[in-house]
Structure 1
Amino acid sequence: MHHTLPPAVAWTQRIAVASLLGLIVLGLAWELFLAPTGGGMLALKVLPLTLALAGLLKRRLYTYRWVSLLVWLYFAEGVVRATTEHGLSAQLALLEVVLALALFAACALHVRSRLRGAKEATA
């Protein structure tokens, strides 16, 4: 039996996955090619994001919850680097901030929609 997702759950999942993938690609490109720091070792910062991808794709509520907390580390890094670095690095940091905010909003709205749907289903 095929179950159709409520629209809010479907679009928040798409935004969450897209922004998560954006952060992964940005982190790798930034630290390996575009403006590397630390000999490329900072590219490892995307590892926790890669671990979250499967959970977001499978719509695991627990994953959406912990990603909504984890993403603030990337937001903070983006804010610090946007205000302390110049040129391309500062622009990449601003992109990181935007992607982190999109990921947080999508995860928060996804959890809210799912919990509201569960509450309505039991009522």
Structure 2
Amino acid sequence: MPSPSVPAPAPSPSSARTTRAIAVLALLALTALCLAWELWLAPLRPGGSWLALKALPLLLALPGLLRMRMYTYRALALFIWLYFVEGVVRATSDRAPSSYYAWGEVVLVVILFVACTAHIRLRQREAKAAAAVSGT
């Protein structure tokens, strides 16, 4: 007689907290980079640029990340690719030092995306494990 299948252990809540911390730090770093880049480091106009407003949508996601709202993680994982595209375009078309900041933006977007998707997967596994336990 075959042995019953043993479900994989659920990820620990500390894993979800770790991915949340990475996502929040990457989001804050990306926001700070966007603001500093457009206002002080390499503005398109002296005195700053209206492009600094691109940081505001990022800050709208912060409360949802801190409260571990799955909708926010999912929406941010999709929305963040706009910043990736902007970073790649500016990294390949702008001159230094602006191109360096653009590559930094690309790296931060990838870190944020990976953290969001890892968080989503961990939470889904936790929910599936909880449903399996409560269903038996």
TM range (shorter): over 0.9
Aligned to 1:24: 31
Aligned to 1:12: 19
For residues 73 and 44 of structure 2, what CA distance do their matches in structure 1 show?
30
Q: Deviations over 1:53-73 (max 9, x none)?
A: 010011010000000001100
Q: Say whether 1:33 aligns with 2:50.
A: no
Gaps (5+ residues) in structure 2? 1-11
For residues 87 and 81 of structure 2, what CA distance do their matches in structure 1 show?
10
Paired residues, what number? 119
Structure with the bigger percentage of helix? 1
What is the deviation of 1:10? 1.0
TM-score w.r.t. structure 2 length? 0.85
Aligned to 1:105: 114
Q: Name the % identity.
A: 55
For residues 99 and 37 of structure 1, what CA distance do their matches in structure 2 show?
22
Aligned to 2:55: 46
Larger gyration radius, structure 1 or structure 2: 2
What is the deviation of 1:37? 1.9
What is the deviation of 1:48? 0.7
Gaps (5+ residues) in structure 1? none
For residues 98 and 28 of structure 2, what CA distance do their matches in structure 1 show?
19
Comparing 34-43 with 60-69, greater Cα deviation is found at 34-43
For residues 8 and 96 of structure 1, what CA distance do their matches in structure 2 show?
25
1:77 to 77, 83, 86: 86
